[in-house]
Structure 1
Amino acid sequence: MLIEMSFKELIAEKRFQGLTENSLRSYENLFRHFGNWLQENDIEHTQDLTSQTVKAYLLHCKEHGNKPKTFNSKLKLIRSWVRWMLDEEIIDKDICKNIKLVREDDSPKIVREEDIQLALRHLRRMKRREDSLYSIRNHAIMITLIGTGLRVTELVSLDWNDIDFNDWLITIQKSKSRRSGSVPLSEALAKELRVYKSFVENRFKDMPESVFVNNEGERLTKNGVQLFIKRLKKELGIQGTFSPHAMRNVFIKRLLMNKANLREIQLLARHSKIEVTRQYIGYFQHELKEVLDEHDPLKGLL
C-alpha cells in the first residue's frame, strides 16, 4: 500500500472517531513533514517501513532542533499510525516497538513578576493611546489568561454565550480532556470583559459570536494569540519565559501567593490530580516566604 494512501485513510478514520480539529491538524502536519522525508529517501510503500526508518526520521528531527516535547509528540502520532496499520493488517510488525520516548522537562515555566508588570503597563498604555480593537482585545486576552488560567485553545474557543456576567461563570466547551467545564469569573475580569464587549458591539455591525476576534470579526486562532505574545515579548525585550501557556502558571503562582490552599487551586486550575498542583509549591517556594513570615508557626514560641 502507498504510504500516502495510508496517511489519508488514517486521517479519515480519526475524523470519523470524532477527533478535535487540533488533533487532526497534528496528524496532518506530521504526515506532511514525515511524508516529504520519506519521499526524499525513496520510501513510498508501507511494506518498506522498518524500525530503522522511524529511528532515522526521529534522529533527523532531533538534529534539526526538535525539543523533547516535539520529539515525543511525533513519536506518539507515529505509534498511533503504526497501531492502526497493524489493526488493518496493512503491516505485520510493530516498527515502533523498541523506540522509547525521551525525557521531558515538565517543570512549570516561571514568568518573572517584573515581566508581567512590564507587559501589563505596556498594554494599558496602548489601550489608552490607540483605543483600537487590537489594543483593547490584546489587553483583555492577557487579563483573561492570567485571571482564569485558561489554556490557549480554551481561550480562542470562547463565545460570548459562554460568559455569564450574572452568575459570574465562564463555561468551557472544549477543555484539555475534551469535556465541558467552567471557571469562576472574578469581578475584576468581568469589568475588563464588559469594556471589551462594549467596544466590539460598537465596532461591528453584527456582534461576533466569538469573544476574541480579528479586524474582520472572525474568531482569533491559537496561532494568532501565540504570535501576539511572541511579538509583545520581543517588543519589550523580555528575555525569560513568556508565552500564553506560561500565563497559566502565573495564575497558579498568584493563587499560592494570595494564600489559596492546594485543594482550591486544584479546582480552579482544573488539575485532574492534586499531585500536579503540589509540584508548583517547590517551584514557587521563594515567592511564598512572605506568607510563611506572616503565618510563622514559631510565632509566640520563641
Structure 2
Amino acid sequence: MLIEMSFKELIAEKKYQGLTENSLKSYENLFNVLGKWFMQEGIEHTQDLTINSIKSFLRSCMDNGNKPKTINSKLKLIRAWSRWLIEEEIIDKDICKGIKLIREDDAPKIVREEDIQLALRHLKRKKRREDSFYSIRNYTIMISLIGTGLRINELVSLDWNDIDFIDSLIIIRKSKGRKQGSVPLSDILAKELTSWKAYVENKYKDIPAPVFINQKGQRLTKNGVQLFIKRLKQDLGIEGDFSPHAMRNVFIKRLLMNKANLREIQLLARHSKIDVTRQYIGYFQHELKEVLDEHDPLRGLI
C-alpha cells in the first residue's frame, strides 16, 4: 500500500472513532511532515518501512530543533499508526519496536511574581484609561486564567451559559480528556466577569454566546489569546516564561503560597494524580519562605 493512502485511511478511521478536531489535526500535521520526509528518502510503500527509517525521521526532527516533548508527541502518533497498520494486516512487524521516548524536562514553567504584578498593573491601568473593548477584555482574560487555572482551550470554549453566577461555578464542557468538569468561581472573578458581561451587553444588540470574543462578536480563538499574551510579554520586556499555560502554573503557585493543601490544589487544578500536583512544590520553595517564617517549627524550641 502507498504510505500516503495509509495516512488517509487512518485519519478516516480516527474520524469515525470520534477523535477531537485537535487530535485529528495532530495526525494531519505529522503525516504532512512525515510524508514529505519519506518522499525525500524515496520511501513510498508501507512494505518499505523499517525501524531504522522511523529512527532516522525522528533524528532529523531533532536536528531541525524539535524539543523532546515534540519528538515524543510525534513518536506516540507514529506508534498509533504502526499499530493500525498491523491490525489491518498491511504490515506484519512493529516499525516502532524498541524506539523509546526521550526524557523530557517536566519541571513546571515558572512565571516570576514581579512579572505577573507588572502585567496586571499594566492591564489594569490600560483598562482604566482607555475603557475600550480590548483593554477590558484582555484584563478579564488574564485574571480569568490566573483565577481559575483554565487551560487555553477551555477558556476560549466558555459560553455565558457555562457560568453560574448564583452557585459560583464554571462548567467546563471541553476539558482535557474530553470529560466535562467544573471549577469554583471566586467572588473577585465573578465581579470582573459580571463587569465584562455588562460591557458586552451594552455593545452588542444580541449578546454573543461565547464569553471571550473579537470585535465582530465571534468566539476568540486559541491563537488570539496566545498573540495577546505574546504582545504583552514583548511590550513589557518580560524575558522569562510568560504564556497562557504558564498562567495555570501561577494559579497553582498562588494556591500554595496562600496555604492550600495538596489535595485541595489537586481538585482545583483538576490533576488526575496528586503526584502531578506534588511536583510543583520543589519549584516554588523560594516563594514559600514567608510561610515557613510564619509557621517556623523551630519557634519556641530554641
Aligned residues: 302
* Counterpart position of 2:286: 286
* Counterpart position of 2:257: 257
- Write the letter of the residue equivalent to 1:202: N
Provide the secondary structure at the position in 1 that maps to 2:33. Answer: helix
Provide the secondary structure at the position in 2 that maps to 1:166. Answer: coil
In the TM superposition, what is the alpha-carbon distance from 1:101 to its structure 2 partner?
0.7
* Counterpart position of 1:244: 244
* Counterpart position of 1:10: 10
Give % identity: 77
* Counterpart position of 1:26: 26
Aligned runs of 1:191-270 on 2, under 5 Å?
191-270=191-270
Is 1:274 the counterpart of 2:274 in the alignment? Answer: yes
Ranges in structure 2 where 5+ consecutive residues have no aligned partner: none
* Counterpart position of 1:39: 39
Counterpart CA distance in 1 for 2:61 and 2:279 is 31
Counterpart CA distance in 2 for 1:70 and 1:204 is 41
CA RMSD of superposed structures (Å): 1.2
Is 1:153 the counterpart of 2:156 in the alignment? Answer: no
Structure 1 runs, 4 residues or longer, greater than 4 Å off: none
- Write the letter of the residue equivalent to 1:289: K
In the TM superposition, what is the alpha-carbon distance from 1:204 to its structure 2 partner?
2.2
In the TM superposition, what is the alpha-carbon distance from 1:186 to its structure 2 partner?
0.4
In the TM superposition, what is the alpha-carbon distance from 1:146 to its structure 2 partner?
0.3
In the TM superposition, what is the alpha-carbon distance from 1:129 to its structure 2 partner?
2.9
In the TM superposition, what is the alpha-carbon distance from 1:301 to its structure 2 partner?
2.4
Query: Which stretch of structure 1 is more off in the superposition, 54-63 or 105-114?
Result: 54-63
In the TM superposition, what is the alpha-carbon distance from 1:128 to its structure 2 partner?
2.3
Give TM-score, length-normalised by structure 2: 0.97
* Counterpart position of 1:66: 66
In the TM superposition, what is the alpha-carbon distance from 1:48 to its structure 2 partner?
1.6
* Counterpart position of 1:88: 88
- Deviation track 1:131-170 (CA, whole Å, cap 9, x = no partner) reads 3322211111110110001111111111111100110000
Query: Which stretch of structure 1 is more off in the superposition, 142-151 or 53-62?
Result: 53-62
- Deviation track 1:50-99 (CA, whole Å, cap 9, x = no partner) reads 11221111111111110000110011111111111111111111111121
- Write the letter of the residue equivalent to 1:29: N
Provide the secondary structure at the position in 1 that maps to 2:143. Answer: helix
Query: Which stretch of structure 1 is more off in the superposition, 20-29 or 196-205?
Result: 196-205
Ranges in structure 1 where 5+ consecutive residues have no aligned partner: none
Counterpart CA distance in 2 for 1:217 and 1:268 is 30
Provide the secondary structure at the position in 2 that maps to 1:183. Answer: strand
- Write the letter of the residue equivalent to 2:290: E
Give TM-score, length-normalised by structure 1: 0.97
Query: Which stretch of structure 1 is more off in the superposition, 252-261 or 2-11?
Result: 2-11
In the TM superposition, what is the alpha-carbon distance from 1:3 to its structure 2 partner?
1.4
Is 1:166 the counterpart of 2:170 in the alignment? Answer: no
- Write the letter of the residue equivalent to 2:127: K
- Write the letter of the residue equivalent to 2:17: Q
Counterpart CA distance in 1 for 2:179 and 2:171 is 11
Provide the secondary structure at the position in 1 that maps to 2:182. Answer: strand
Provide the secondary structure at the position in 2 that maps to 1:182. Answer: strand
Provide the secondary structure at the position in 2 that maps to 1:98. Answer: coil
Is 1:54 the counterpart of 2:54 in the alignment? Answer: yes
Counterpart CA distance in 1 for 2:174 and 2:81 is 25
Counterpart CA distance in 2 for 1:216 and 1:28 is 30
In the TM superposition, what is the alpha-carbon distance from 1:120 to its structure 2 partner?
0.9
Counterpart CA distance in 2 for 1:91 and 1:132 is 59
* Counterpart position of 1:142: 142
Counterpart CA distance in 1 for 2:144 and 2:215 is 20
Query: Which stretch of structure 1 is more off in the superposition, 191-200 or 179-188?
Result: 191-200
- Write the letter of the residue equivalent to 1:68: P
- Write the letter of the residue equivalent to 1:114: E
- Write the letter of the residue equivalent to 1:292: L
Counterpart CA distance in 2 for 1:208 and 1:191 is 19
In the TM superposition, what is the alpha-carbon distance from 1:288 to its structure 2 partner?
0.9
